[in-house]
Structure 1
């Protein structure tokens, strides 16, 4: 499919001018900066290799006046001059993605919403409520229900105004290529428990229309019958549906000719809400329709913690990146109060490339610039926490300093963007390597999301489900330890499960919908390789006897209880016994992921060192050996093209520890090396086909294109790194 010149999203990838485009973006919160700094900062972003400027557009910033004098200001008023900012972006040769919320978070008062829309100040508005009746707060105000008619009228009016403003700036006439609607849902609920909202009056009415006669689940107790399953499943389906349709309605307000996407967050960490930790993965799966095709394209954010040193952060990050195809729209490079390790480029680069390896269709440096100079209307009244979250500069560790000079991370960004831009087409069209499919079961996620609230010993045994925390999480952790490729896929849907798409793992409890039992049975009967984690079901969704799956696959499907034998070991044993399944682990002390294209001989190999010591990662790509020397915490990407080194990126410096290793990358007989520790991007250019060709012997060089056809960029702590390029036969 080749769209026209107008920007659009196709399967999570942005298309511009009829071609797929890998997004290389950086966040610039213009509203936090003096408008006199805009031009210099944008120029510095361009010099860093950033191609797309992303920015929130805070409603409260552009709404001025009160009562009958209230109006929206987008031009000619200091840092409210969004028109002037877009004109500067265009003049600098950059593109833009606007993010007008309505709720944007962004460490702004009331998440960027005008105070007037809070039920705290306007009791006539309906507040968002949880299952136990608590109001959903944000800072000193209560958030309105996203279904409240007054809020919807105001929010759609705001977005309609933004849509009208940006039309003259839409690509190809202007720089705007897309608009982000919402921010991790309406209010960041994409990682919240399913009972967190919306039990408001408008929510209750909407649920009654969605599931007539079904009671919404409450904390008072769960009926030990099929009614309990129906209640939880209906509530989860409605929660996902109301989020999706709500985002679509907001997108419609911006306008039908504007490319729009939404965002979701990674699963919540254990320490976010310890009392509800048991169901957090299931709630995330259910609300976000993970593994399913969604109406609107989706990006993800990546606020998980340091994946190099934190196993929970690693699993959550990978789940977010594999949850749906789209760009990583926020990678923390500059907010040290959120994670002090972001100040060291080795950490956000490790994160960024991990997301790309898992399928991200773009990356974003957040924020790219340090800013200061916002007005009192954007100042948060601090009551607790780190003052760095609220005081200038915003983006204290950003690659571009307040005065637009390069910061400590600037050189590292330039090397990374050099590689990403140089292999933009390959990144846009490639996909993660096919592997074992984990089947996401929406009904099980719906029940498992309430795991923290249930007492299964008190009569819920028949509809106890294997929760994601006890099944999916150890499966993902094992795959990452053993370098076993995998993906997530929703089990339910209109299309039949395809045996040719690869082996399938499905968690199973005592009950399973009759229709899904039939789907899985057909999958196995048509030659699909199926592993069941748990027990073969004996009941259907009404808790009536149903063993269609068990009867159909008896003796032909592997069943692992998940209790005695670890899930990871069961998966590998099953794969090793399935001679017709080519998926195998690639064990090593490093993490290895791959992206592939339609050309099976063109592969991107991603290598990550999560240890504190240097190591040499070694793998095989077809008949060819691939090695890369990695500093502790470092990472590399190696393009293997028809048995030759097509390109590589190596993060050879660990700024956090002060360690480094000289670059040494090998693909078959091609060896690229440097004389000192450095970050490096090396791209074999047009006219230097890696499958062979004329040329002279490789030579030492610090930058530029050498006789081997490579264009090189490096960043070293001291001096220029000298690079020895592969010989060309």
Structure 2
């Protein structure tokens, strides 16, 4: 069996498929229930791929003792036995060895002995003020609260050495014996949501430690070539690279930020991206897997600067073989426009699967997640926005861990997943089963279908790295995140989908697939990016630029390639193309993906995804262009629910639609209608047709 990830899509022996997974934290359950829980998860949900973290602190609590993967020191450490059960049950596995895992474990799954408090050889990670970066530890203080412990500097020599030892042990003692085709492990996830669940933190949050700054300055040397070149471009007179300090403070409102200072902010943003890439590659090299490696970035946070922080740091194009994936823990997207926007940006940033969708936690996060409709809505949104897979986190409730693993949370963990703590399938299992069955039947076709998109956001990451340090109301300089958020809202209000394209890494031929680019400018821009955009305009395409028009290149030399091309371009048409799908009535979003060899305008086959907002009242009516025909689709769904419809040759085929949302006390007799042809349930329920077979789920 040959496992590959191509453009974020899982291929098995060359055949593509949508990656549907569920997490099981084996380390929180007694080994005596592993087989039963996994069998129930498989049979009740239809999921065939399990994701599992391997907590370092669980398998190696003593620094002077090798990790235990066989249960020799304690039965619940028998990782090899757990993976053997997965294989016997026909379940594939995504292995997640950290080193940091979060997963609501003490110290994020790191062993206590690697903490700088307990090991003076470990350098702590520092923020811009020189304070240690902290995470919840594994003991309570005198006030009864869990202590906050300093995290290691990711590039510190001793920490890097011990991480390498851990990952090499996992690779040699676990993965070599369990990797496909002879074992169940088909993919590996490295790290967690950045490095230490920090992918969405501000750019000034880390890492200003000595090893971090050494890496930063080494990157400057490589980028600029010589100190003289650096000084000339930045307007400085440093005598040595060690004299270069990174930015540490946001600039004041109304402050004049010189171009040299702007470049310094861009340098720090590049360091943040390179820090992720360096750790990912170093850790992967130590692990030595023979299957693809991916990561799970958390989406942007909610502060005014957070989208810029994230866009500057998250640069999948720089990872060279490490694949993109993401998670969702920022709120209920059917209720919050902010959560919706951040979730969509994460799904669109690069092709890859959603590796953690909240299906199990209501008490810990939001009561809305007690209803399966909330997670169903979000899973469909992820796929509509560009994700190549979905995840149920977690699939099974557990109750068998000790304080050495987690002192913060009471059993069960989590409180409302598809399989409860007694091993019984809940109503959510049926909802997951509908999803799994639908995309087992149609996932490859769905992923191959072409999203019907309008303009593309042109991402120029140096602008994000600068804008992250700007005050909330200051857009006088280069900008990226806030204009992107405004662009997102504009597209949503116009009923149009969009894509995100990284301009620094884009090849000339790729731009032709994005005939209408939108971006916010600044005083400088890489010369090769300006040339790409100028050629794009010369080819008759459109570049919509707000803000300043660049007149300098990346070394602050005069460069008017883009300015000249914009002046020479024909005036852009002001008319807005409404696209092939429009919501006529109801509060909802609609996404259309076309199937077939012809252009979007001639296709009468595809997938329509309808995301119903929590405040919607009544049916949602959608105008849909099916080839030369103007069709009308009506979806009757619960508030906060969703639907996905397969339309084949202009006719309604398989579909999923939710009619129940217990959290909102919304119960609707669900129905889908295409040009008067309706399929309706008899009672309030969830309704599905998969491979032509109609089924209802009344919970």
State the TM-score, normalizing by the size of structure 2. Answer: 0.88
Contact 2:524 2:551 in 1 (8 A): yes
Partner of 1:126: 123
Partner of 1:609: 612
Is 2:367 the partner of 1:340? yes
Aligned match for 1:379, one of 401, 406, 431: 406
Offset at 1:75? Answer: 3.5
Offset at 1:80? Answer: 0.9
Question: C-alpha separation between the residues in 1 aligned to 2:506 and 2:336?
Answer: 38
Partner of 1:713: 695
Aligned match for 1:145, one of 143, 146, 153: 153
SS at match of 1:72: coil
Q: Measured at CA, do residues 54 and 40 of structure 1 come closer, stay the same or move farther in structure 2, by a change above 3 Å?
A: same
Offset at 1:201? Answer: 0.6
Aligned match for 2:94, one of 79, 84, 97: 97
Question: C-alpha separation between the residues in 2 aligned to 1:629 and 1:150?
Answer: 59
Partner of 1:637: 644
Partner of 1:218: 247
Partner of 2:416: 397
Question: C-alpha separation between the residues in 2 aligned to 1:454 and 1:586?
Answer: 33
Question: C-alpha separation between the residues in 1 aligned to 2:619 and 2:522?
Answer: 43
Q: How does 1:10-49 map to 2 (within 5 A)?
A: 10-47=6-43, 48-49=45-46
SS at match of 1:535: coil
Deviation per residue, 1:107-158 (Å, 9 max, x gap): 1111001111111111222111112111111123211111011111111221
Contact 1:532 1:558 in 2 (8 A): no
Is 2:494 the partner of 1:482? yes
SS at match of 2:670: strand
Offset at 1:455? Answer: 8.2
Is 2:177 the partner of 1:182? no
Question: C-alpha separation between the residues in 2 aligned to 1:682 and 1:673?
Answer: 11
Deviation per residue, 1:574-621 (Å, 9 max, x gap): 353xxxx78577244320012334544431100111134232322213
Contact 2:583 2:621 in 1 (8 A): no
Contact 1:415 1:714 in 2 (8 A): no
Deviation per residue, 1:634-678 (Å, 9 max, x gap): 211011111112211111112212222223222346432222221
Contact 1:615 1:632 in 2 (8 A): no
Partner of 1:700: none
Bigger Cα displacement from structure 2, 351-360 vs 87-96? 87-96
Is 2:591 the partner of 1:593? yes
Number of paired residues? 648
Q: Measured at CA, do residues 531 and 11 of structure 1 come closer, stay the same or move farther in structure 2, by a change above 3 Å?
A: same
Q: Measured at CA, do residues 682 and 511 of structure 1 come closer, stay the same or move farther in structure 2, by a change above 3 Å?
A: same
Offset at 1:418? Answer: 2.3
Contact 2:188 2:289 in 1 (8 A): no
Is 2:388 the partner of 1:361? yes
Offset at 1:500? Answer: 4.5
SS at match of 1:450: coil
Contact 1:530 1:557 in 2 (8 A): no
Question: C-alpha separation between the residues in 2 aligned to 1:373 and 1:256?
Answer: 30
Contact 1:216 1:231 in 2 (8 A): no
Question: C-alpha separation between the residues in 1 aligned to 2:290 and 2:384?
Answer: 31
Offset at 1:546? Answer: 4.5
Partner of 1:618: 622
Is 2:440 the partner of 1:421? yes
Question: C-alpha separation between the residues in 1 aligned to 2:98 and 2:650?
Answer: 47
Is there any run of 5+ residues in structure 1 with no aligned partner, and where? 270-276, 383-389, 560-572, 686-709, 718-729
Contact 2:449 2:594 in 1 (8 A): yes
Contact 1:618 1:627 in 2 (8 A): yes
Partner of 1:705: none
Is 2:307 the partner of 1:281? yes
Partner of 2:453: 434
Q: How does 1:498-513 map to 2 (within 5 A)?
A: 498-513=511-526
SS at match of 2:80: helix
Bigger Cα displacement from structure 2, 297-306 vs 652-661? 652-661
Question: C-alpha separation between the residues in 2 aligned to 1:221 and 1:423?
Answer: 48
Q: Measured at CA, do residues 17 and 295 of structure 1 come closer, stay the same or move farther in structure 2, by a change above 3 Å?
A: closer
SS at match of 2:355: strand
Contact 2:669 2:685 in 1 (8 A): yes
Question: C-alpha separation between the residues in 1 aligned to 2:441 and 2:27?
Answer: 32
State the TM-score, normalizing by the size of structure 1. Answer: 0.84
Partner of 1:313: 339
Offset at 1:227? Answer: 2.2
Offset at 1:679? Answer: 0.9
Question: C-alpha separation between the residues in 2 aligned to 1:714 and 1:490?
Answer: 43
Offset at 1:447? Answer: 0.4
Bigger Cα displacement from structure 2, 392-401 vs 670-679? 670-679
Partner of 1:519: 532
Aligned match for 2:485, one of 466, 473, 477: 473
Q: Measured at CA, do residues 110 and 630 of structure 1 come closer, stay the same or move farther in structure 2, by a change above 3 Å?
A: same
Q: Measured at CA, do residues 516 and 64 of structure 1 come closer, stay the same or move farther in structure 2, by a change above 3 Å?
A: closer
Question: C-alpha separation between the residues in 2 aligned to 1:520 and 1:466?
Answer: 18
Question: C-alpha separation between the residues in 1 aligned to 2:273 and 2:464?
Answer: 12
Aligned match for 1:298, one of 315, 324, 343: 324
Question: C-alpha separation between the residues in 2 aligned to 1:655 and 1:373?
Answer: 29
SS at match of 1:281: helix
Q: Measured at CA, do residues 101 and 265 of structure 1 come closer, stay the same or move farther in structure 2, by a change above 3 Å?
A: same
Offset at 1:402? Answer: 0.8
Q: Measured at CA, do residues 654 and 286 of structure 1 come closer, stay the same or move farther in structure 2, by a change above 3 Å?
A: same
Offset at 1:35? Answer: 1.1
Question: C-alpha separation between the residues in 1 aligned to 2:513 and 2:451?
Answer: 17
Is 2:219 the partner of 1:205? no
Question: C-alpha separation between the residues in 1 aligned to 2:328 and 2:635?
Answer: 27
SS at match of 1:536: coil
Deviation per residue, 1:502-553 (Å, 9 max, x gap): 2111211344344433332221111111211223234444556544322332
Question: C-alpha separation between the residues in 2 aligned to 1:170 and 1:507?
Answer: 46
Partner of 2:144: none
Question: C-alpha separation between the residues in 2 aligned to 1:157 and 1:633?
Answer: 47
Contact 1:244 1:295 in 2 (8 A): no
Offset at 1:425? Answer: 2.2
